[in-house]
Amino acid sequence: MTDFDPKRILKSLPMKPGVYQMLDADGGILYVGKAKKLKNRVSSYFRGSGLNTKTMALVSHIRDIQVTVTANETEALLLEHNLIKAHRPPYNISLRDDKSYPFIWVDTRQAFPAVRFRRGRVKGKGMWFGPFPSGGGTRDTIDLIQKTFQLRSCEDSVFSNRSRPCLQYQIKRCSGSCVGLISEDQYAEDLAGAALYLNGRSQVLIDNLTDKMDGAAAALEFEQAARYRDQMGRLRRMQSQQGVDTDYGDVDVIAIESRPGISCISLLVVRDGRLLGHREFWPGGGLDEEPEALLEAFVPQYYLGEGQHSVPSEVLLSHPVGDEGWLSSVLAAAVGQSVKVGHRFRATRARWMQMARDNASQALSGHLGNRLDMNRRRESLAEILGLDTLPVRMECFDISHTQGEATVASCVVFDDQGPLKSDYRVFNIRDAKAGDDYAAMHEALERRYNRVKGGEIPIPDVLVIDGGPGQVTQARDVLSELGLHQVKLLGIAKGPTRKAGMEWLHIEGNDLPIRPPSDAPGLHLLQHIRDEAHRFAITKHRQARGKARITSPLEGIAGVGPKRRQQLLRHFGGLREIQGAGLHELASAPGMSQKLASVVYAALHGES
């Protein structure tokens, strides 16, 4: 593929729909595109003028072009999407969407199921509602459900061991199902109402509540009628706050705002006329495409990708995307129902679109401001550290534990735009002695940089250690053992006053620590990285410590599974009572035998 002659290839291309793949000298895929007429589209890359910088860079690396002719444009779009997803070509737009979307989950296998927040969906278990565009909006919805329908949200272990109602019952956010203050039938009725609301049928729900209120009043059940009235009032207030228009159904509103070299896509999710929330996306990589082309690439990636995004009956776009009927047919085929894609709208839809545009513009302005500030901070840091070039990738490590319990090490990563949370990692320390921070740091760094040396992770320009000379020495030993001498290493330690701005920097190669001016932007960047590593380490340590402390000693005993643990806890009333029970009492518990009771007794009392 060394002798690349575009004219020879262009002559053989048909005037038919299909997909083209541009390959480099090693046969790697540089770019994948679709076309209604392959010959015209591919030829546009080799015209004499009018190409932007990124397109010219792409063309300079092309050594071959492969095409696949399809029966129609729809097949071309689907094939293009599958190839991009499989190969991740460097010049194609990538959708930066690393988060698992939030759902609301109800475990219907229980008599009084709780309403829970979950990220990611597990098939075949209970009822799932979502995905929602943001975690905050999902929690707000759960909060409304608690207030309106008084469904429980407590953990099953708490629910199973209550003898009196908790504070949630006192403030009228739970119906006290744990102590039998509501029947299963009434609870199921409340759950059905919540399901109607979560499925976007709030007006149907209000009509049902109206009928129930009238019926309860006619039967002189005034307390129940008042409860239905209060539920209706909350739902109507929520409709008003969310700008509900019940004449409109399920709509996604997608707007794009662009500046030189960067674009922001804002998505508003509307279900049953109710605004559920919004989210921003930042298309990465790719050529410097116009907004229309970016939207045309975004829509199939978003709806046909792996993010479990529901396809609404209507998708509104801020810019025309060529043949909108093309996208409509592809989305309709994916969900088995009609989907309308368009960029012309008015009245309520125009208001939603303006909201999406405003969100995209605001996010873009804030992002650009942060990026300018980030560049200023990197320039200052390069000056402090004596670097010839601006650092791009920076990593920081911190250790967290409570008197040696549940020791974890955090690794946070910053790039030229700030925190890169998708690359954050946490290390549960396994080998180091409890309380030995130096050994814990050595273990975490060794595990991390073995992968760096193996090419699995990019090499950072700067490695920051939260600590002084001892921690820096551990880091240098690891880097030296692995031959990673190009990494600039430093430790950041608080001064005697432990005040922000009075930190000492222990830079490898310097005999003495330095203290930059408190207003130096480079120091502010190091403080930000250090504080983020500290926050992340504490968060993960608390999770690990909490998990260790709530783990029941019954777990891990052969023959005692979840169901039998629950039976024992119900029978004795708690773990302390089980530990105080004798062999005969254990053997007489439901589901227990003399042999199993002996095993449990021995395990709880440290006997072999």
Q: Convert the pLDDT of each residue in 544-577 to its tens digit.
A: 777 665 566 777 788 888 788 878 877 777 777 7
110 vs 74, more confident: 110
In percent, how much of the chain has pLDDT > 90?
Answer: 15
pLDDT at site 448: 92
Exposed e or buried b per residue across 31-46, where buried means at least 16 C-beta atoms within 10 angstroms of its C-beta: bbbbbbebeebbeebe
**CB-CB contact of 412 with 537 (8 Å):** no
Closest C-alpha among 607, 603, 587 to residue 595 = 587
Which of 118-127, 135-144, 184-193, 353-362 shows the lowest per-residue confidence on average (mean pLDDT)?
118-127
Which of 257-261, 317-321, 507-511 shows the lowest per-residue confidence on average (mean pLDDT)?
257-261
The single residue listed with the structure tokens 């910053």 is 414
Exposed e or buried b per residue across 370-384, where buried means at least 16 C-beta atoms within 10 angstroms of its C-beta: eeeebeebbbbbbeb
Q: What angle do CA 103, 107, 110 make, to 5 degrees?
A: 165
Q: Is the peptide bond before 131 cis (omega within 30 degrees of 0)?
A: yes
What is residue 35's three-state secondary structure? strand
Mean pLDDT, the chain, rounded, equals: 82
- Quick: pLDDT tens for 215-270: 878 888 787 788 778 777 766 665 554 444 444 578 899 999 987 778 889 998 88
The single residue listed with the structure tokens 């009235």 is 229
Which of 256-260, 293-297, 602-606 shows the lowest per-residue confidence on average (mean pLDDT)?
602-606
Q: What angle do CA 132, 93, 354 make, to 5 degrees?
A: 50
Averaged over 385-396, what is the pLDDT? Answer: 92
**CB-CB contact of 113 with 107 (8 Å):** yes
Averaged over 403-424, what is the pLDDT? Answer: 87
370 vs 454, more confident: 454
pLDDT band at residue 30, thresholds of 50, 70 and 90? very high
The DSSP secondary structure of 395-458, one letter per residue, reads EEEEEEEETTEEEEEEEEEEETTEE-GGG-EEEE--SSPTT-HHHHHHHHHHHHHHHHHTTSSP
Residue 35 main-chain phi, psi, to 5 deg: -155, 145
Q: Containing H/E element for 119?
A: strand 115-119
pLDDT at site 244: 42
- Quick: pLDDT tens for 522-542: 998 999 999 999 999 998 888
Is residue 394 over pLDDT 90? yes
From CA 324, how far away is CA 343, in angstroms rounded?
Answer: 9
Residue 309 CB coordination number (10 Å): 18
* Interhelix angle 135-149/222-241, nearest 10 degrees: 160
What is residue 318's three-state secondary structure? coil
Averaged over 321-343, what is the pLDDT? Answer: 81
pLDDT at site 202: 66
pLDDT band at residue 422, thresholds of 50, 70 and 90? confident
Residue 395 CB coordination number (10 Å): 28
pLDDT band at residue 144, thresholds of 50, 70 and 90? confident
Averaged over 39-55, what is the pLDDT? Answer: 83
Burial of 2 (0-12, 13-18, 19+ CB in 10 A): exposed
pLDDT at site 330: 81
Averaged over 383-389, what is the pLDDT? Answer: 91
pLDDT at site 245: 46
Burial of 49 (0-12, 13-18, 19+ CB in 10 A): exposed
Positive or negative, the CA dihedral 120, 123, 128, 131 is positive
Task: For residue 439, give Cα distances in angstroms to 235, 539, 540.
Answer: 57, 21, 19
Averaged over 478-487, what is the pLDDT? Answer: 90
Top mean pLDDT of 97-106, 506-515, 550-559 is at 506-515
Task: For residue 483, give Cα distances in angstroms to 59, 66, 440, 449, 530.
Answer: 37, 41, 21, 10, 25
From CA 463, how far away is CA 441, in angstroms rounded?
Answer: 13
pLDDT at site 122: 67
In percent, how much of the chain has pLDDT > 70?
Answer: 89
pLDDT at site 204: 75
Is residue 593 over pLDDT 80? yes
Q: Which pairs count as long-range contacts for 474-477, CB under 8 Å and 24+ apart, including other chains?
A: 474/438, 474/441, 474/442, 474/445, 475/397, 475/441, 475/445, 476/508, 477/442
pLDDT band at residue 312, thresholds of 50, 70 and 90? confident
pLDDT band at residue 1, thresholds of 50, 70 and 90? very low
Positive or negative, the CA dihedral 175, 177, 182, 187 is positive
The two tokens of residue 552 are 């029941």
